[in-house]
Chains A and B, each alone.
Chain A
Amino acid sequence: MIGEGTQSTNQRRHTFVRDHVEVGFFTDPTVCIGCKACEVACKEWNEVPDDGFTWTGNSYDNTGHLGASTWRHVLFLEQDRQKGGQIVGSHSLGNGPEADPFRWVFLSDVCKHCEEAGCLEACPTGSIVRTETGTVFTQDDVCNGCGYCVVSCPFGVIDRRPAPLPDAGGAFKCTFCYDRQKSGLVPACAKVCPTESIVFGRLDDLRARATQRVNELHQHGYDDAQLYDPTETSVRGIHAFFLILGEPEAYGLPPKPQVPTIYLKSAWTAAFATAIASLIVTLLAFAFSS
């Protein structure tokens, strides 16, 4: 909780890997200040290369989107809506007819570490695996860069790193700082977050904490605060889940993400039907012509 200081799960050493405890990230935009320390800490610890400086013109977000060389991405939303009980307006004070509501929302986006992960299912080399703590990890030395995980992720997270960047050709995404976790350390982004907008901890603890936080926000007038954790779809929940204000679409989050393996049955049925039809038609063509 905020104010726990050194007792916070973000600061304590842990034995989650050894004890096979499901871990997660809970990211809360209502306390995020948009400092991007998580992006910097992630790049530094994981030695993720610089993938170019681009002026996007999209608010203060010049990172753009998650990708092979961007594993944390702070979103800067500009919305013509009120944030909680905030009073804003260039024409008048209060919320009268002339009110001109505006809010700035920051959210640190990351790989969701799905319960049913599209990338992991798709990977033909076994490079992508699930760790003891339930997170999804890519083994760079195994990946041969086939690119099938890229189109299999319902959140558009994982991507193939283009040349001439270091280790080009392989697919990369957030590792949940598996190396740090194995040594009992907290992932770099959570460790460095100055407001504990990113919280690392046991998944069940975090889910309880998130529900409590949403209730708290509703009491404070944040009527559109909700959790983004698609447990009802075929993804069956995510290890890195978010509190969001308003609709998920505005954050580039699909409201109902599906793991693509659910499409296999109908596609293979059509394939087998075509295969059998082709065999039969070929044999018939020869039978009738000879």
Chain B
Amino acid sequence: MNTPASEQRLEQLREKAWQEGVVPGRGVDVVGGPIPRKPGYYGQPVVKPPVWTWEVPLYFFFGGIGGMSAVIAFGAVLFHQVDLARAAMWSAAVAGAVLSPILLIMDLGRPHLFLNMLRVFKHRSAMSMGAWILTAFGTCVVSGSIALELHAHEIIPGALGQLLRVAAGIFISGAAILGTLLATYTGVLIGATAIPAWFLHRTLLPIHFGTAGLGSAAAVLELLGHRIAALNSLGFYAATVELALLVWLSIDKYGAADRAIHEHGTGWQIRIGEVLNGPLALVLRFFGFIPLAALSFLIGALVSRIGWIGVGKVSGSDPESVFAAERY
């Protein structure tokens, strides 16, 4: 007999009730009487927690590395450090123009429709702006890398070679400007939402994501063997800013509204991440353990990103946080 799934489920529940005398419910609250004592409506979430999975924090991580690598490439080109510029452009291309789009598309509910992102341009949607920034960045990075490689290998001589040099300069400048936006817009993306723990920290998030991106980009290049003073300075700068953000996050509390950050395990992920890319990276770098400092910063930047998405899920599921956040 062909019974619909719903009827089968009903039969299962009846069977279970017959055998065990009770079907355990999720929301039963019988302590002291019939009136439910959970906050809001039976403790149901007031806003919806994010549906995003592991791809999104990884995208934030690689987007940060890719975007800020282009900035370092721009600096290297300006100061005639061609080897470093080539490595940085490779890093920008792999992280920002290959891994980032793949992760972003993988996270979509319908990946085959990803091009629909480019149907409209909406400056009031951070997701739309992000899609355009990523597209423009990818174009600049790929063109800039090709031009730079051809120029560096001196494949094309003469006037055409000079033209290639100019083109590389223009594309790398474009990639640098778009790269700073690629690394920071993700903070706006989650900061301008209805999730209390996110929107209450909307100024901290872009600073954190952007700076973590810059430090990670420098760390990747250092781990690739480019031990130069400029990258070391950037490492010091990023770790110092992250240390300041760790202090800011510990002081800037909003009670029940952002308790996911201060009372929940995912909040600890953020703080552990911040310790790794703030104070620990700073101390290691100060004593000259550069590869260790770079590694510590990279791990911290990733763990903190995972923590921020996790905090959004906890905060969005907590009705009391939403009610409390309305005072701010």
A residues bordering B, Cβ < 8 Å? 50, 52-59, 61, 64-65, 67, 75, 77-80, 102, 118, 121-127, 142-148, 150-161, 168-171, 249-256, 258, 260-261, 263-264, 266-276, 278-279, 281-290
Contact = CB atoms under 8 A, between A and B. Distances in A.
Contact of A152 (B109, B180, B193, B206): B193
Contacts of A288: 229-230, 233
Nearest to B204: A270
A256 to B, nearest CB: 4
Residue from A56, A170, A254, A278 whose CB has the most chain B CB atoms within 10 Å: A278
Given A267-B191, A274-B206, A278-B211, A78 B34 contact: yes
B174 interface: no
Nearest to A75: B41
Contacts of B181: 271, 275
Contacts of B326: 254-256, 258
B210 A274 contact: yes
B54 interface: no
B192 A267 contact: yes
Given A80-B35, A124-B120, A64 B44 contact: yes
Given A143-B116, A252-B41, 8 more contacts: A151-B50, A249-B319, A258-B326, A266-B203, A270-B202, A278-B180, A285-B237, A290-B230
Contacts of B47: 151, 153-156, 254
Contact of A151 (B48, B114, B233): B48
A19 B74 CA distance: 57
Nearest to B131: A124
Given A57-B26, A125-B116, A252 B40 contact: yes
A286 B99 CA distance: 28
13 contacts: A53-B13, A58-B25, A61-B42, A79-B35, A124-B117, A124-B122, A145-B113, A148-B189, A152-B194, A154-B194, A274-B180, A274-B211, A283-B75
B31 interface: no
Interface string B281-318: 00000000000000000000000000000001000100
Interface stretch (B3-11, B147-155, B160-168): B3-11
A6 to B, nearest CB: 35
Nearest to B200: A263
Given A78-B34, A147-B52, A263 B191 contact: yes
A289 B228 contact: yes
B110 A169 contact: yes
A56 B26 contact: yes
A84 to B, nearest CB: 19
B89 interface: no
B21 interface: no
Contacts of A282: 71-72, 74-75, 214, 230, 234
Contacts of B211: 274, 278
A255 to B, nearest CB: 6
B206 A144 contact: no
B125 A285 contact: no
Contact of B199 (A79, A260, A273): A260
B75 A151 contact: no
Contacts of A125: 113, 116-117, 119-120
A133 to B, nearest CB: 22
Contacts of A275: 177, 180-181, 183-184, 210
Contact of B210 (A78, A127, A146, A271): A271
The 4 closest A-B pairs by CB, nearest first: A145-B109, A57-B25, A169-B109, A275-B180
Given A125-B119, A151-B47, A281-B237, A267 B203 contact: yes
B158 interface: no
B117 A146 contact: yes
B51 A260 contact: no
Given A124-B117, A144-B116, A169-B109, A158 B48 contact: yes
A65 B27 CA distance: 13
A52 B25 contact: no
Contact of B187 (A80, A118, A258, A270): A270
Contacts of B199: 260, 263
Given A124-B128, A290-B230, A150 B187 contact: no
Contacts of B191: 263, 267
B192 A263 contact: yes
Contacts of A77: 41
A272 to B, nearest CB: 8
Contacts of A253: 46
Nearest to B6: A50
A264 B109 contact: no
A264 B124 CA distance: 8
Contact of B234 (A118, A252, A273, A281): A281
